[in-house]
């Protein structure tokens, strides 16, 4: 019977334990460039079996919040190389989360002040963060324009190019495709944000097409064994909703099965919120079974509100990796604290998004 502290293989990734640092947006990278303190932040947490970086924009168009990092230019890639070097020097493994926000953006953040892009021209009932004079403010997302089908291959290419740069230039061990939380790929998947009438809208097969094209292009670029994907079947985050998530996501994981991915990362319930939603029931065991039955061999990673007993049970019952989010912000040595049954520091909400070293690299360890 495996425990949280046993090594595990996720595709090409040899992980020292089954505790994963979930992706966490921190808004501390002006001009999309990770700073030296970002290397310190990840290095401090390198005892996790796997670190997943904060969501990182694959293009300027894919950015939706102030001061989030990118992967699309030399300075951004150089900044990330310092991060991966620091993590590797501590024996850690790190993948970067590839992000295109789609409609969850604001004209002030877009190239030439243009409209954010989306499957359909439907404004999300959601907010984004603009930082002005060091002050974070929440603003309504802007009205998007519907992408023309002729633009989609360019976005697919952007994901593949970002993946190649991430591995070959920035030194990452792999990438995680962000297909969750109401961002571009999730907008295509879910019916409420996708009313297209072409090959990318309508049926489940059509709505899944774009996510699958992106994933295949990324695996062609860097190999399936270095590629993970994050899904959130029922989260209401960023106004995401689909009437039939079970059928939709079972189809998606069945199609992912032959790609030999490193892992499938599933957010159970509402991101950062309740694990069960009365109006959005979902059977995660059936989702995993659909993937395995279709021949999927990737590690199965679960996330959302896990504590030690829940994580131990999940690993005993066949989940391979458990991702912890906010606890990793507040506890750089979370792995040790779990092992030794030590108490966890509380996260300071005021310093989660934006700011400097405080609330970022000054959380205490047990020593």
Answer for which of 181, 211, 227, 345 binds ligand 8OZ (CB under 6 A) is 181
Q: Should residue 96 be labelled a site residue for ligand 8OZ when binding is judged by CB under 6 A?
A: no
* Least CB distance to ligand 8OZ at residue 204 (A): 23
Asked if 56 touches ligand 8OZ (CB under 6 A), the answer is: no
| CB nearer to ligand 8OZ: pick between 186 and 333 | 186
Given candidates 65, 72, 80, 249, which one binds ligand 8OZ under the rule CB under 6 A? 65
Q: Which lies closer to ligand 8OZ via its Cβ, residue 55 or residue 321? A: 55
With contact defined as beta carbons under 8 Å apart, do 305 and 3 qualify?
Answer: no
Tokens matching residue 367? 């020593």
Neighbours of 108 (CB within 10 A): 12
The CB-of-67 to ligand 8OZ minimum distance in angstroms stands at 11
Contact status: 25 vs ligand 8OZ (CB under 6 A)? yes
Give min distance, CB of 271 to ligand 8OZ, in A. Answer: 5
Nearer to ligand 8OZ, 201 or 245 (CB): 245
3-state secondary structure 211-224: HHHHHHHHHHHHCH
Least gap, CB of 25 to ligand 8OZ (angstroms): 4
Residues 182-211 that bind ligand 8OZ (CB under 6 A): none
Task: Report in angstroms how near the CB of residue 159 gets to ligand 8OZ at its nearest.
Answer: 16
Q: Taking Cα atoms as reference points, which of 26, 28, 105 lies closest to residue 60?
A: 105
Kindly state whether residue 351 participates in binding ligand 8OZ, applying the rule CB under 6 A: no
Tell me the DSSP string of 1-29. Answer: ---TTS-EEETTEEESSSEEEPP------
Contact partners, residue 159, CB within 8 Å, separation at least 6: 58, 98, 100, 177, 214, 217, 218
Write out the H or E segment, with its range, that includes residue 139: strand 135-140
Can residue 109 be called a binding residue for ligand 8OZ (CB under 6 A)?
Answer: no
Ranges within 248-307 binding ligand 8OZ (CB under 6 A)? 271
**Which position among 41, 183, 200, 284 bears the catalytic label?**
183
Identify which of residues 237 and 314 has a Cβ nearer to ligand 8OZ in the complex: 237
Q: Residue 55, interface with ligand 8OZ (CB under 6 A)?
A: yes
Does the protein bind ligand 8OZ through residue 162 (CB under 6 A)?
Answer: no
Residue closer to ligand 8OZ (CB basis): 194 or 271: 271
Q: Which of 217, 237, 252, 299 binds ligand 8OZ (CB under 6 A)?
A: 237
Active site residue 183: yes
Q: Are 10 and 318 in contact (CB under 8 A)?
A: no
Structure tokens at 45: 């947490």
**Per rule CB under 6 A, count of chain residues that contact ligand 8OZ:** 6
C-beta of residue 143 within 8 angstroms of C-beta of residue 121: yes
**Nearer to ligand 8OZ (CB atom), residue 190 or residue 337:** 190
To ligand 8OZ, the closest distance from the beta carbon of 32 in angstroms equals 14
Task: Give the span between the Cα atoms of 281 and 148, in whole angstroms.
Answer: 34
* Closer residue to ligand 8OZ in complex, CB, 130/342: 130
Q: Contact between 63 and ligand 8OZ (CB under 6 A)?
A: no
CA atoms within a 13 Å half-sphere pointing along the CA-CB vector of 362: 8
Cα–Cα dist 66/139, whole Å: 11
Q: What is the widest separation between alpha-carbon atoms in the chain? A: 59
Please list, residue by residue across 248-258, b when 16 or more beta carbons sit within 10 angstroms of its beta carbon and e when fewer do.
bbbbbbbbbbe
- Cα–Cα nearest to 69, from 100, 102, 31: 31
Residues of this chain that bind ligand 8OZ (CB under 6 A)? 25, 55, 65, 181, 237, 271
Catalytic residues: 183
């Amino acid at each position: 019977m495996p425990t949280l502290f046993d090594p595990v293989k996720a595709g090409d990734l040899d992980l020292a334990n089954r505790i994963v640092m979930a992706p966490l947006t921190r808004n501390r990278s002006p001009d999309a460039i990770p700073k030296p303190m970002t290397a310190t932040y990840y290095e401090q947490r390198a005892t996790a079996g796997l670190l997943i970086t904060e969501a990182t924009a694959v293009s300027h168009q894919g950015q939706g919040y102030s001061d989030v990092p990118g992967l699309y230019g030399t300075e951004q890639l150089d900044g990330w190389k310092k991060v991966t070097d620091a993590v590797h020097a501590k024996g850690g493994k790190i993948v970067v989360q590839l992000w295109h926000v789609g409609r969850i953006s604001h004209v002030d953040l877009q190239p030439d002040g243009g409209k954010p892009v989306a499957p359909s021209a439907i404004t999300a009932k959601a907010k984004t963060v603009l930082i002005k004079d060091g002050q974070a403010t929440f603003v309504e997302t802007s009205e998007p324009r519907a992408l023309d089908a002729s633009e989609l291959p360019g976005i697919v290419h952007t994901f593949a190019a970002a993946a190649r740069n991430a591995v070959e230039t920035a030194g990452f061990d792999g990438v995680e495709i962000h297909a969750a939380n109401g961002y571009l790929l999730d907008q295509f998947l879910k019916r409420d944000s996708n009313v297209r009438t072409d090959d990318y809208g309508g049926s489940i097969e059509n709505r899944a097409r774009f996510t699958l094209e992106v994933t295949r292009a990324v695996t062609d670029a860097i190999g399936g064994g270095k590629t993970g994907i994050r899904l959130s079947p029922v989260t209401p985050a960023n106004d995401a909703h689909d009437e039939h998530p079970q059928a939709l996501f079972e189809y998606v994981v069945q199609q992912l099965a032959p790609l030999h991915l490193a892992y499938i990362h599933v957010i159970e319930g509402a991101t950062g919120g309740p694990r069960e939603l009365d109006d959005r029931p979902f059977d995660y065991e059936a989702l995993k079974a659909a993937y395995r039955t279709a021949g999927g061999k990737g590690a199965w990673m679960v996330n959302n509100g896990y504590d030690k007993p829940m994580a131990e049970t999940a690993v005993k019952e066949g989940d391979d990796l458990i991702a912890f989010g906010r606890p990793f912000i507040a506890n750089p040595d979370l792995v040790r604290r779990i092992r030794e049954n030590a108490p966890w520091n509380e996260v300071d909400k005021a310093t989660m998004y934006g700011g400097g070293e405080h609330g970022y690299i000054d959380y205490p360890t047990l020593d």
